[in-house]
Every structure is written in structure tokens, then in C-alpha cells.
Amino acid sequence: MVAVGQMKDGARRSRLRLSSVTIHRIVAVIVILALWEGAGASGLFFRGVIPSTLLIVRALFRLFGDAAFYTHFSVTLFEILVGFVIGTSVGAVAGLILGINRYTGEVLEPLVHYLAPTPKVVFLPVLLIMFGIGVGSKISLGAISCFFPMALSVAAGVGTINPMFLRVGQSLNLPLSQRVWKIYVPALVPALATGFRLSFGIATVGCLMSEIKLSNFGLGYAAMQAYNRFDIPTMLAILLVIFALAGIGNFCIGRLVRLPGPDNRRATALPPR
């Protein structure tokens, strides 16, 4: 009975904490909106630079009623997803190779570390020459952007695997393919989760940057067209759609790897079966 009472008290405190956090989040959103409206009405900025929230909402509904918006949205979504899949797949394999093969890691991992912080947009002129201004150059830039965080995350994760698991695999004479699927992959779930989340955001930025620079379709192109018309509400509405796309993608990735949100401070690797 005492244990049941303690469990009920714990659940009650958890619900109270959750409701408190939700209230504070709502208050934070209200404060941000109030600051936005105050900045727009202050006269400190040029007229129309900070439109009211109502104008942005109206522009958002106009976008949803425009067939061209769905064309731009589908193009950007396709570029991000394909670039994300290619970049994370190649990056995960590269990270495994760097982590498993000690000599290869010593030779190549410093090079990957040095190249990772480089702005990937510097590759865009070469990609435009190779693939043109179509979706190929955007997908390529997204894939390159995804490669580095995934490779580094997986390579670092391999170093944290319990050596006992590796010794068990060696004692059972498991081939490399079985060691990868039964030992490395289950133990690398936290590293993969980190790599996926970082890569999706970076892929989004890479594809949108390439659309802004030179493109005929995509949300980045549509945002720049609104900017050129000084249609700031529409431009901000498109940016809200991009933020929502990135947030939904991050949420889905978290659910996929069973790390659903920022409250998960730690993930525990599962031992091989």
C-alpha cells in the first residue's frame, strides 16, 4: 500500500510539473508575440519591416490557398528527404569504418573533423556546374551537409561501446556483418539519434540556401520572390512553414529512434541479443 501511495504521489507530481511547464511555454509564446507587436508599433523600424501577427496569419492562409505554394513545398520536401537519406546513409557507413578500423580512423577522422565546420555552401558552384540549377544540386548539397555530422557522431559512438560486447562477438566468431547488426547498431542508437537530428536540420538549411542562391522552385525561391516584392508577411509566412517542417521532421525522427523530446537527457544502448 505504501508503494502504491508513493507511485500515485509521483504521478501527481509529474502531472503538476508537466502542467507548470506547459503554462510557462504558453506564457513565453505570448511574451514573444507581444514583443513582436510592440517592436512593429514602436516606429523604430521602417514601415512594413515588422508586420503584425494578423497580417502574417492572413498571408499564411493565402499560401494554403495557392496551388503554386504546394509545388514549392513538394520540391523542397523532396530535396530535403532525398539529401537526408543519402547523406545519413553514407555518413553512418563512413562513421562505422572510422570507428571500427583504428588505423583508418587515425588517418581520416582528423580530416573529417577539419572539413566538418566548413560552410557547405562553398561547394554550391561546383555542384551547379555538375548538376545544373535543378533539384540535383540541392540534393547534393543537402547530402554533403548531412554526411559530416552523421559520420562524426557514429565514429564517436563506436568508441563508447562496451568492450565486453565486442569480446563476446569475437569469442563467438561472428562475421563482421553480424557484429555490425547485433552489436554496433543497437549500441549506437543514441549516436544515430543525435546524427539524425543534426543532419535533418543541416540538410534543411543546405537545400534552402541553394534554393535562395539559384533556383526556379522551392520554398527558398518563393521566400526570395516575396522579399523582392517587399511582401514581408508572405515571406515570414513561408519561413513559418519552414520552421514547422523542421520541427515536425525533428519530432518524427525522435519518435523513430525512441527519443521523443528534449526531456530525454540520456539514452541507454541495448545489449545484443
pLDDT tens readout for residues 160-178: 887 787 777 777 777 777 7
Check residue 12 and give its pLDDT: 59
Tell whether 91 and 200 lie within a shared domain. yes
Q: How many domains does the chain have?
A: 2
Query: What is the mean predicted confidence (pLDDT) over 28-50?
Result: 81
Query: What is the mean predicted confidence (pLDDT) over 5-9?
Result: 52
261 in a structural domain:
no
Check residue 17 and give its pLDDT: 60
215 in a structural domain:
yes
Per the structure, the complete domain to which residue 248 belongs is given by 53-256
186 in a structural domain:
yes
CA-to-CA separations, 34 to 30, 38, 41, 42, 187, in angstroms, rounded: 6, 6, 11, 12, 46
268 in a structural domain:
no
237: CATH: 1.10.3720.10
The pLDDT-based confidence of 77 (bands split at 50, 70, 90) is very high
In tens, the pLDDT along 220-266 reads 999 999 999 888 999 999 999 999 988 888 888 877 766 444 444 44
Query: What is the mean predicted confidence (pLDDT) over 170-191?
Result: 79
Check residue 262 and give its pLDDT: 41
Check residue 62 and give its pLDDT: 92
Tell me: pLDDT of 30 over 70: yes
Tell whether 124 and 8 lie within a shared domain. no
Tell whether 107 and 165 lie within a shared domain. yes
Tell whether 18 and 135 lie within a shared domain. no
Tell whether 35 and 129 lie within a shared domain. no
Of the three residues 35, 50, 65, the one that is the final residue of a domain is: 50
Tell whether 31 and 123 lie within a shared domain. no
Tell whether 152 and 238 lie within a shared domain. yes
Candidate ranges 90-94, 98-102, 126-130, 188-192; pick with highest mean pLDDT = 90-94
